[in-house]
Amino acid sequence: MLTLRTLGHNGRWGNQIFSYCFAKGLAEHFGCELQVPSDWVGRKIFQIPEAGISTKLPSTALDQIPSGPGWDLFGYWQNQRSIDFYSRTKAKGWLKLQPHLEKRYSKPIHERWTAIHRRFGDYRKLAENKILCIPAQESIFKCCVDNKILTDYTVWVDEENKVPKMFDFPPMDTQTNSFSEHDNFLYSDISFLDDWMVLVKASTLIRTNSTFSFIANILASSEQKLYSPIVKDKYGYAEVDFVEGNFPCMVSNPGPNQTDLYLKD
């Protein structure tokens, strides 16, 4: 058996999906059971089959890959040796939306759109302290021009712009804590989901150095065009180059636990 006791408490949404996919892949590799917390928010979004955690196991060191079952996994798993335990196809098979959410996002208002993800929030202080970078807006515009990115609609997904309604559904009701008057599915801890699905369903995605948009591309259609920033040795608000593909490392000072990521199809 393997467990993932810190899932939901060790990083935000993108980090959680990295951890879950690695744990799934490793459990499959060992041919053993995986248990994850019964209260993990991912259960509200995806059809998660694993049982809740019933056994206390010793914890691995950060990002340590054990040689066999009998461990509680601890880490972020954003390096090549970790993602080699799964593939895009496996991840999409493991992370199937709950049926009512599949229906919720089945009717986009626009046929094609470009989604541009930028992360501010906690990144501002980290950028000011020269720990990581926030790609400059000019670099994003240059990416659009250089790659002739033309779609019917462009939407910015960040904390500074209100994301417009992109799907034909009633908005989530903050007063009744439900998706609609006909659906009392609690959403208080998944209010990010509408924005994230804008990234997943986009025909073109310009991601930032964040797991939030990295993971969105993994679950997107294989036809999605994706452009990523090269942030190595870049700090503060910085001009960066964008490349096609989802492989560039998301940190400015990569090490053995954070590398470029080439996920198998």
Q: Would you say how long the chain is, in residues?
A: 265
Of residues 152 and 219, more confidently modeled? 219
Q: Ramachandran region of residue 31, left (φ > 0), alpha (ψ -120 to 50) or beta?
A: left
Q: Are strands 241-244 and 225-230 parallel, antiparallel or unpaired?
A: antiparallel
Strand order in the sheet with 225-230: 154-157, 114-117, 204-206, 225-230, 241-244
**Vertex 182 angle, CA 177 and 185, to 5°:** 40
pTM value is 0.91
The per-residue pLDDT for range 134-182, each reduced to its tens digit, is 999 999 999 999 999 988 899 999 988 888 889 987 655 544 444 443 3
- Statement: residue 183 has pLDDT above 60: no
Strand partners, 229: 242
C-alpha 219: how far from chain center: 9
Span 14-35, average pLDDT = 98
